[in-house]
Copies of this chain bind each other. A is one copy, B any other.
Amino acid sequence: MKSYLEMTKEELSVEIESLRSEYRKYQGMELKLDMSRGKPCLDQLDLSMGMMDALNSRADLSCADGTDCRNYGLLEGIQEARELLGDMMENNPKNILIYGNSSLNVMYDQISRSFTHGVMGNTPWCKLDKVKWLCPVPGYDRHFSITEYFGIEMLPVPMTPAGPDMGIVEKMVAEDKAIKGIWCVPKYSNPQGYSYSDETVRRFARLKPAAKDFRIYWDNAYGIHHLYDDHQDYLIEILAECKRAGNPDLVYKFSSTSKITFPGSGLAAIATSANNLEDIKTQLRNQTIGHDKVNQLRHVRFFKDIHGMTEHMRRHADILRPKFESVENIFEENLGGLGIAEWTKPNGGYFISFDGMKGSAKLIVDRAMKAGVKLTPAGSTWPYHNDPEDKNIRIAPTYPTLEDLSTAARLFTVCVRLVSAELLFDGME
């Protein structure tokens, strides 16, 4: 197709007429589709139904070390679960603490405790005039919501296909001791699906922050969430790299089984240095006696070991791969060569990042909404919901059925073309 950028006013006008008619057809279909959140679909949820049989009334709910999972205790989680998630996270079980059902909650609590009690004996952040945070953009909206909620000043850092621009990160953390953290989704990033390069990880591990209580919030949410058997991104393990670099306490690493078993009924975990873990436990033991050990045991009995989990993730991939490919094909078919849009083609994770023309994102999302397709609100991928160029949209292909997804993706491309053509037309004075 001819690039919109090369079209004359008359050509654009014809195109707009044709697109409006096409758009109205979609409106007539009374669609009600949701591509707004990274939710697993029903077929994916069904994969874990076997977990409901992993424990029954005749099962022995005790661990190898004799711990009765039914009673109080064991702040760190059961050993078997620490081992399973240790394999999943590529960390030593002794560096792992198993939490409840939500890694977001763990991150929130980590920041909350830093405000009320400080990190490792440093001044509690609530006593500071200013706390700042680095936010690679586009990024994950729920991360930004936490830091916004705590009144932390969020500083955007540009993302590249190799990760955050490390030159900027290094300079900023070295110069400003008000900067206490950075949000990272290092593998199959939200929303791009980028994975940090070896160099990026090595530079992260060697950061020299001015603030002693600066921590990297390493949210490895999609560590084993590959789409392909043969094209898998590889990420250097950050705890080991920090240790090698002489910065063992620099990072909190988060993960969960939310998108492996059931979101909201899985296991969340933190992996960090012995010092950080001690600091966390000193605080945590005032907050709870322990997390849900029966659910930990249920996960362990269901997967048995990391091989069980890897096989399980292959089945997830079989469901998700066609969805990602369908969206990518539809985008390529309808938007390729038009000069008005770019999008990522990830090897894993839950999202595709879409960039339209400047000033188009809100209009596109609005058009899609009015034809019955709900997208993540434009701006969500930026701190304060403020995408300065109003061009980024997060595409979440996982939840709808393949058929619905194709319809939604086609409508989306119609909206993109219509909005872009109108913007170009209007721009010609």
Give every chain B residue within 8 A of A158 (Cβ-Cβ).
none
Binds B, one of A162-170, A175-183, A288-296, A329-337: A288-296
Establish whether residues B289 and A264, one from each chain, have CB atoms under 8 Å apart when the complex forms: yes
Establish whether residues A265 and B52, one from each chain, have CB atoms under 8 Å apart when the complex forms: no
- Judge if A157 is at the interface, Cβ distance under 8 Å: no
Give every chain B residue within 8 A of A72 (Cβ-Cβ).
37, 39, 258, 263-264
Selected from B59, B71, B116, B145, the residue in CB contact (under 8 A) with A40 is B71
Selected from B102, B150, B295, the residue in CB contact (under 8 A) with A295 is B295
- As a 0/1 sequence over residues 239 to 252 of chain A, the CB contacts with chain B under 8 angstroms (1 = contact) are 00000000000000
Q: Which chain B residue shows the least CB distance to A72?
A: B263
Selected from B71, B113, B115, the residue in CB contact (under 8 A) with A45 is B71
Establish whether residues A57 and B49, one from each chain, have CB atoms under 8 Å apart when the complex forms: yes
Q: How many identical chains are in the complex?
A: 2
Establish whether residues B52 and A56, one from each chain, have CB atoms under 8 Å apart when the complex forms: yes
Establish whether residues A45 and B57, one from each chain, have CB atoms under 8 Å apart when the complex forms: no
Which of A53, A115, A263, A286 gathers most chain B CB within 10 Å?
A: A286
- Judge if A413 is at the interface, Cβ distance under 8 Å: no
User: Nearest Cβ distance between residue A24 and chain B, in whole angstroms?
Assistant: 31
Give every chain B residue within 8 A of A126 (Cβ-Cβ).
115-116, 124, 126-127
Selected from B39, B70, B100, B262, the residue in CB contact (under 8 A) with A100 is B100
Selected from B56, B101, B105, the residue in CB contact (under 8 A) with A56 is B56
Q: Which chain B residue shows the least CB distance to A102?
A: B288
Give every chain B residue within 8 A of A363 (Cβ-Cβ).
none
A42-B262 Cα distance, complex, nearest whole Å: 29
- Judge if A21 is at the interface, Cβ distance under 8 Å: no
Q: What 9 A-B pairs come out closest when comparing CB atoms?
A: A126-B126, A265-B294, A149-B286, A108-B287, A49-B57, A45-B70, A70-B262, A72-B263, A105-B288
What are 27 pairs between A and B in contact, CB < 8 Å? A39-B71, A42-B68, A45-B70, A52-B57, A52-B61, A53-B56, A70-B262, A71-B263, A72-B258, A73-B264, A100-B291, A104-B287, A104-B288, A108-B286, A108-B288, A115-B126, A126-B126, A142-B289, A145-B286, A264-B289, A264-B290, A264-B291, A264-B294, A265-B292, A265-B295, A292-B292, A292-B295
11 A-B pairs besides A72-B263, A265-B292 with CB distance below 8 A are: A42-B68, A52-B56, A70-B264, A71-B262, A71-B263, A101-B292, A104-B287, A104-B288, A105-B288, A115-B115, A265-B295
